[in-house]
Structure 1
Amino acid sequence: MSRLLKRSSLAAWLCLCLLAGLVAADSCSAIEAVAPSVQVKYRFDPAYTSTNSEYWSTTCIALKPSCIIYPSSSRDVTAILGALRSNASDPEPFAVKSGGHNPNNYFASVDGGPLISTEKLNHVILDLETGIVRFGPGLRWDELADKLDGSGWSAVGGRMGNVGVGGYMLGGGLSFMSQEYGWAANSVLEFELVVANGTVVTASEDRNPDLFRALKGGGNNFGIVTSFTAQAYRQGQVHGGVMVFPRSRDTDAKMLKAIQDFTVYNDDDKAAVIPTQERAGGGIVDAWIVFMFYDGPSPPETVFKNFTDIKHIVDARKTCSYAELVRTNNWAVLKGQAYVIGTETLPLPEDPSSDLAATMLPEIHEHWREVSKQVDDAVGIIASIAYQPFPRRIAQVARDKGGDLLDMDDDVDRIIIELNYSFVVKKDYERVGQTLEDTYGGMRDRVLAWQEAGQLPDAYAPLFMNDAYDEQDYFSRLRPQHAELARSLAEELDPNGLFRERTGGWKP
């Protein structure tokens, strides 16, 4: 990898020469001077307004970049990074935005510095014979699914269509198809990215393999990805949708048992579920919503039986195209809300018949219900918990496909918790954030106590980046050798701290 840093591309060298004369220019003006083909939009321009409003969380929308920059090629990105480097004496913060689904402020949003929007990096090139597809980070998953619809191929990707491709892939990416194909990032064959010195780099199994691993779960620390090349898979119609269950203590017990049993015993790799419980209006709305998916037109009757046997009031499942399903799931993201999202990873007991197996999820769930009540008076509050099964089968597939930075082992089954609080009034941000910390912190304390008592295996439990809160220490939860790999690569590829010091996100 060090050879990459010893030779800048011709484009990067030219940018440096041109920028040498732009003394004390801000980055936005510098980019306009050296790359006139790159669109640069300022506040009150309709394009600026549109791009900056496309975040899940209103707290990110409230941050106002000095300009928004729209590269459409890796050459454009090289020029942009050259301009940012030229202002090292008066460094501005900056951010890179794909779909804007990460609600952590300053991760894909910025106040007073340039925002690089990847929305024009939206190419989709499919080889109909092999299913190898090259696509850009500026797409959302429903856009990519629509492009592939009717081809007979589908890419492993987001379960909600309006999730952006870029951040999702660099965080690993859980998919409805993960039990078949692993993390979404495990199907990537090649990354193209522009590193801090402007060089365009390819990372694959054969070229820069350490970087290839680090990009699968390492976030925005190594450069700006301009293209993914991934293996797509044969796919026809699918079956899926949501079921809604009125909440009661009896329903809680049955649902939590169904979640644990599905995680441990399901052997149909085509089946997936995301059971969630939603509380809103101080408990006025209190219900389970279960997302179900089957990679085929008709699931076996038994595969979801533990869920469908529970009393429910809505069954909106249907047979449709994969593109239609992920587009339909967009209803779950409410516009005009502020969001904080956090996560925790729960290893399950080795003995599914043990006393702890019967009480663990109920205790975790009751903890969430009690702590979430702390903010029942917040305007527009919706508290949600999602149980995302991560059976050992996913870890097996991920390792078979070459691995990733998370490097899950297949020794135990796990559940990845997603905690989601949305609300309306910005002044509630700090206390809702504290409630989120209390929620996942209490879960972690319980897991550690059960492990110390010998009731839970002392299993590796990294955090899932795509669901993590900015206060969670993502890299400290990785295996030490993988955290060190990320740290050393970030220092080598970015010795002057362009990404490490001027962008948000978790830093190794």
Structure 2
Amino acid sequence: MDQYSISGFLRSTVLDCSSEVASGQVAPWLWCRPCHKNSSRPPYRLTVAFQSFPASMMKSNIMAMSTAAALFEIASAATCYSQSTACCLKLNKAPGLAGKIYFPNSTEYVERMDSYWSITAALDPWCVAQPSTAEDVSTIITTLAASNCTFGVRGGGHGSFAGSNSVNDGVTIDFGFFNSTTYNPDTKIASIGPGGHWQTVYDTLAPYGVVVTGGRAGTVGTGGFILGGGNSFHSASHGFACDQVANFEVVLADGSIVNANATSNPDLWQGLKGTGANLGLVTRFDMYAIDFPDPTKPVVWGGNLIYDLESGPKVIDALVEFTENVHKDENSSSIVYWAYLPQLGGMILNAAIENTLAEVAPPAFDAYYAAGNITQDTTKVDLISIVANELGSGQPAGFRNAWFTLAFDNDARIMNYAVEKFYTLNADLEKAVGADSGFNTLCMFQPITKSIVDKGIAMGGNSMGLDHYITRGNGIMFLITFAVNGAENETISFPYIQAYTEDVEAYAASLDLNWGWIFLNYAHKVQDVISSYGEASIERLRAASTKYDPTGVFQNLRHSGFKIPF
């Protein structure tokens, strides 16, 4: 093979391109991989290669086309290289950021990539910026904005989809150093960093006899959970997690560090509740602490009721009854789900039930205990961190993931339909990727009640728009999760998961029971989350964005998460 090579010291972000003319063909073709796909590769040579073919075919026009094509790709590579290098080098040289910018192949970069909960979400940014102070965050955002650099935002790293908390073509701002929790007994305020996990938060607060409205799975990150809304054990009694934020410390697009609360920047305070990183970068959440009944015993009661599968319809009826009566016991919460685990024997039906006052088997759960044959009861009185750890263990890290969510009226027909189609979905996935792919799925239902919405309104309101939907009556939040090993298996399976969600939504709509509301924490990127909040909320968010981010940094340069529709 004759080769005509053009080489140089091209960094790992450069395109891998070659132009080839196969034997007997008149024109070359190109194949190239985008620059971000090889961001962890060492420098390599760009080659224009011609396979053996008759000399009569070696026409000057073919040579010209090949060379032009190769040069075009080299130019594209250089552009990509130039932008990525400029952004990351400027950060590395910025005051206070030395040693906090991690480049591909560095130990720190690899460690941060390996710490993502979902492999799907672990993209390959040009570099990772890991600040340790609010001032660092200010420097990072102003440097990126000044150079028109794209970026993504990562808190605890529990997002499921590609682009939830990282980027390929850009810089990932990683809040991993913001993982501390402190408590002030005088003000009864718990200050929580955006890069921690709820397991640690609960363990830190337990000696004080207090808790906050945090995640029900200990592995969930703090920042994304709160900014996405946050559904907790305490939702019925205290509202969503975002409703319990007394103050946000937030870095705005211009680098200013401000506080947002009921009296200072109240529109920003409300705007941050349930919208992700649309208005700024939160560096601290000051949350109202909740006292345990006995501060010396910071415990809850909870666990799982596992049923035989024939009990399904009765368990759904129990959930419907529970949802309609949440207002009678706002300290009790429940989730009902079917989990398909081929490697553990197949389908499991489970009701996760909890009481935050540590009341054992309160009357709120009578219908669950009467619903059918309970094959296992794991409920106990224990530390909330232990209960949360057990729930989190059901969704381990290291898989490729896809989540979708819906909301609809509290009606057994939709849930029974979703379960019926869930069985079909798993049979189809078995055929498509096989049990040896490690795939597992979960079909979950949990209440959305007037109690939750009313608490949020009383605490100053959020941006999630549920006050409009709850006029229909209490509802159900639906979640389908999928996990699998292997990129190819993920690609094959994704259309099945999406089609299943659309089928359930269409059925709910056919009964005029679909809400159209989408919970940010559970949503996939193809779902239009913030549009579902309603026009009144959207208009407030647009106004806040124009006021606090007039140049549109978080709408144009931020390439992770969900955005305000303009």
Q: Same fold (TM over 0.5)?
A: yes
What CA distance in whole angstroms lies between the structure 1 residues aligned with 2:219 and 2:196? 9
The TM-score, its normalising length taken from structure 2, stands at 0.78
What CA distance in whole angstroms lies between the structure 2 residues aligned with 1:338 and 1:23? 30
Structure 1 gap segments, 5+ residues each? 1-21, 349-356
Matches within 5 A, 1:75-474: 75-88=135-148, 91=149, 93-235=150-292, 236-247=298-309, 250-266=310-326, 267-281=328-342, 284-309=345-370, 310-348=372-410, 357=411, 359-377=413-431, 378=433, 379-409=437-467, 410-411=470-471, 412-451=473-512, 456=513, 461-474=516-529
Cα displacement (A) at 1:190? 0.9
- AA at the equivalent of 2:424: E
- SS, match of residue 393 in structure 2: helix
CA contact (8 A) 1:343 1:416 kept: yes
Identity score, percent: 24
What CA distance in whole angstroms lies between the structure 2 residues aligned with 1:171 and 1:287? 29
If you compute each CA radius of gyration, which structure gives the higher value, 1 or 2? 2
CA contact (8 A) 1:399 1:407 kept: no
Cα displacement (A) at 1:54? 1.8
CA contact (8 A) 1:67 1:114 kept: yes
What CA distance in whole angstroms lies between the structure 1 residues aligned with 2:330 and 2:84? 57
Aligned partner (choices 34, 48, 67) of residue 127 of structure 2? 67
What CA distance in whole angstroms lies between the structure 1 residues aligned with 2:508 and 2:480? 16
- SS, match of residue 207 in structure 2: coil
Matched, 1:504 2:547: no
What CA distance in whole angstroms lies between the structure 2 residues aligned with 1:484 and 1:439? 32
Match of 1:13 in 2: none
Across the aligned residues of Structure 1 and Structure 2, the Cα RMSD in angstroms comes to: 2.2
Match of 1:8 in 2: none
Cα displacement (A) at 1:497? 3.4
1:379-415 deviation digits (Å, cap 9, x = unpaired): 2221211111112211121212221111323431011
Aligned partner (choices 477, 488, 492) of residue 543 of structure 2? 488
Match of 1:14 in 2: none
Cα displacement (A) at 1:24? 9.1
What CA distance in whole angstroms lies between the structure 1 residues aligned with 2:138 and 2:492? 41
What CA distance in whole angstroms lies between the structure 2 residues aligned with 1:24 and 1:380? 36
1:6-29 deviation digits (Å, cap 9, x = unpaired): xxxxxxxxxxxxxxxx99952222
Cα displacement (A) at 1:126? 1.1
What CA distance in whole angstroms lies between the structure 2 residues aligned with 1:322 and 1:24? 44
What CA distance in whole angstroms lies between the structure 1 residues aligned with 2:156 and 2:84? 32
Cα displacement (A) at 1:97? 0.8
Bigger drift between 149-158 and 331-340 goes to 331-340
Cα displacement (A) at 1:293? 1.0
1:185-210 deviation digits (Å, cap 9, x = unpaired): 10101111111111112211112222
Matched, 1:52 2:119: no
Structure 1 residues 108 and 199 mapped into 2: Cα distance closer, same or farther (>3 Å)? same
- SS, match of residue 357 in structure 2: coil
- AA at the equivalent of 2:485: V
What CA distance in whole angstroms lies between the structure 1 residues aligned with 2:519 and 2:412? 25
What CA distance in whole angstroms lies between the structure 2 residues aligned with 1:366 and 1:222? 41
1:73-105 deviation digits (Å, cap 9, x = unpaired): 1110111112212322xx3x3211111111121
1:146-203 deviation digits (Å, cap 9, x = unpaired): 1101101101110001111111111110001101100011010111111111111221
CA contact (8 A) 2:414 2:504 kept: no
What CA distance in whole angstroms lies between the structure 1 residues aligned with 2:316 and 2:84? 60
